[in-house]
Amino acid sequence: MKKGRYLPVILCVFSLVLSIQAVHAEFITEKAVIYETDFSTSPGWITNSPSNYHWDGDLQMYYFNTEGGTNGNSYIPVPYDGESFTLEFDVVIKSARKNGAFRFGMTSSEMDITRGTNVLSVFENGKYGKLMSLQVIDQDNHMHEVSSLYSSYCGSQTDCTTKEFEEERAYHVILKYNKELQNADVRISDKETGEVIWGYYVSTGKDLHFLTQLAITTKGDYTMNNNVEGYLDNVELSVYRQVEVTPTQTTPQTALPTATAVTTATTPETTAPTPTGIPLSPAAVIGSVIVAMVAFPAWRRR
C-alpha cells in the first residue's frame, strides 16, 4: 500500500480545519441575590436570646433589643464566597439609650465587634450624639472605621456637618464591599423620601476573608443598660459573579412578507439583538483553496 494514498485525505482534513471558526467563551458580570427576606414569614434566624431578637408576625418585621454585656446576637448563614457584595435593608430605631448601638452586617462565625472579620453598619448613641458609622475589621484584626461625626469624614470640607439619626424614623441602608477596589462603603437614606442622610467609605487594603453570615451582634460590647430597640425589614444580600456565556451560531431566517395593516400608534418595545453566525475569514477561504490545489495534483501523480 502506497503511503501517498492517504495524502489527499490528510490535506482535505487540514483544509477543513482552516475553514472552522473557533467559538470562544465570554464572561459577563451579573448580580446574583444570595439571600433575601421581607419578613412576611418567619426568616428562621438563629439567636441566643429569643425574647430580644425575634420575628414580629403582626408587623412582619424583625424585632431587636440590643444590650451590652449580654453577648446577644441573631444571625443567618449565607452562601457567600468572598466576592464583592451589596447588603440592603430597612431599619427603624424605636429608642436608643446612651452608649447603646445597633450593629448589623456581614460577619465571621465569631460575630465579635472587636475582632475580625466583619463589615458592619452601626447606629450608635454615643459620646458625640446619635451617629451612623461604618466599621470594617479584617482577618488580621485591623479596624477601618468612619462615622457621621464631622471630624471623622469631612476632612477639609467647609460646608460639612455632623449627621445624626432620629428615633422612630425609617432608614434604608446600602452597605457594600468591593473586592476589586479593596474598600467598603455605606449610604443611609430616608426610606420614605429617598433623601441621602449620610454616606462614606473606608479602604481595606486587602481582600476580606471568613465572612459567613448576616448578623445583629453585641459580642464585645460590655456596657450594661445601653439598650437599642427597633425593627429590621427588607433584607437583601447580593453578589457580583462572572458567568460564562458561549455565543452560538444561528441560521438567519428570511421573514415572509405580510400584509400591512392600519394600526393605532403604540410605544415600540426594545429587544436585544439576536446573535448571528460568525462569517468565515478570507484567510480561511484562501487557505482552503490553496490546499486543495496542492492536494489534487499530488494525488494524480501517485
CB 130 within 8 A of CB 233: no
pLDDT of residue 158: 87
pLDDT of residue 262: 39
Query: Measured between alpha carbons, how far is residue 118 from residues 3, 140, 261 in Å?
Result: 71, 11, 63
Q: What do you get for the CA distance between the two ends of the chain, in Å?
A: 12
d(CA 203, CA 188): 18
pLDDT of residue 78: 98
Assigned CATH topology for domain 33-245:
Jelly Rolls (2.60.120)
pLDDT of residue 276: 42
pLDDT of residue 287: 52
Q: How many C-alpha atoms does 40 have within 13 Å on its Cβ side?
A: 3
Which three cell numbers, joined as nine digits, stand for 10? 490528510
Question: Hunting for cell 433623601 — which residue is that?
Answer: 195
pTM of the full predicted structure? 0.74
Q: What DSSP assignment string belongs to 50-68?
A: TTTEEEETTTTEEEEEE-T
Beta bridge partners of 76: 214
User: For the segment 103-146, what is each residue's pLDDT rounded down to a tens digit?
Assistant: 999 999 999 999 999 999 999 999 999 999 999 999 999 999 99
For 25-169, strand residue ranges (E) read: 26-37, 46-47, 53-56, 61-66, 73-77, 85-96, 100-107, 118-126, 129-137, 143-147
Low-confidence ranges of the chain (pLDDT < 70): 1-25, 247-302
Beta bridge partners of 164: 131
Q: Return the percent helix, strand and coil in the chain, to nearest 5.
A: 15, 40, 45
pLDDT of residue 142: 97
User: For the segment 252-261, what is each residue's pLDDT rounded down to a tens digit?
Assistant: 555 544 444 4
pLDDT of residue 161: 96
pLDDT of residue 258: 45
